[in-house]
């Protein structure tokens, strides 16, 4: 009998993300597919170490700065909160340039806001691929 080879483990990017956020993201992604711009989740929950590695970019490592949250002093909404869930996801397009400037990010952001999410594209330093739950602190206390 031949041996079984596992070709590259693909992590479940939905694992640990708040179920209410996932339900809303599913609506956004379905709508984007219907209008001809399919997308997928590329980042869900991050560990403190992974967040810190992103924070180091443009500071101690080459590249541009991509986050102000260092993962320890200032946590990202991608990190697990007190309720045991992450409150943010990043998505990309599955056709063309996944993070290309000419992709319809405004439509993605509008759809996210329509279902009650916060879009990173509205921030002072835009994070086009980012959607998160509004006011996770008060939401998790309910």
Q: What is the pLDDT of residues 57-109, one digit of tens each?
A: 999 999 988 899 999 999 999 999 999 999 999 999 999 999 999 999 999 99
Least reliable range by pLDDT among 8-12, 32-36, 122-126: 8-12
For 105, half-sphere exposure in the C-beta direction (CA atoms, 13 angstrom radius) is 20
Check residue 135 and give its pLDDT. 75
Name the region of 50 (left: φ>0; alpha: ψ -120 to 50; beta: rest): alpha
Length of the chain: 142
Check residue 101 and give its pLDDT. 95
Q: Of 140 and 53, which is predicted with more confidence?
A: 53
The pTM of the full predicted model, rounded to 2 decimals, is 0.87
Residue range 115-126: mean pLDDT, rounded: 96
DSSP-based three-state secondary structure for 131? strand
30-71: pLDDT as tens digits: 999 999 999 999 999 999 999 999 999 999 999 988 899 999
User: Rounded to the nearest 5 degrees, what angle is found at the Cα of 25, between the Cα atoms of 19 and 26?
Assistant: 90
**Residue 3 in this model has a pLDDT that exceeds 50:** no
CA–CA gap between residue 65 and residue 44 (Å, rounded): 19
Any residues with CB less than 8 A from the CB of 130 and at least 6 apart, and which?
Answer: 88, 89, 90, 119, 120, 121
CATH number of the 19-45+80-141 domain: 3.30.1380.10
Query: Residue 128: how many CB atoms within 10 A of its CB?
Result: 19
CA–CA gap between residue 131 and residue 39 (Å, rounded): 13
């Amino acid at each position: 009998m031949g041996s079984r080879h596992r070709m590259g483990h693909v992590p479940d990017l939905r694992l640990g993300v708040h179920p209410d956020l996932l339900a809303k993201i599913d609506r956004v992604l379905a709508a984007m597919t219907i209008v001809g711009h399919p997308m997928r989740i590329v980042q869900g929950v991050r560990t403190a170490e992974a967040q810190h590695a992103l924070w180091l970019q443009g500071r101690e490592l080459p590249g541009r700065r991509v986050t102000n949250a260092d993962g320890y002093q200032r946590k990202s909404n991608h990190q697990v909160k007190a309720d045991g869930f992450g409150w943010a996801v990043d998505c990309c397009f599955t056709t063309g340039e996944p993070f290309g400037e000419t992709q319809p990010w405004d439509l993605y952001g509008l759809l996210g806001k329509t279902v009650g999410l916060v879009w990173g594209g509205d921030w002072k330093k835009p994070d086009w691929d980012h959607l998160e739950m509004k006011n996770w602190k008060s939401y998790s206390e309910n």
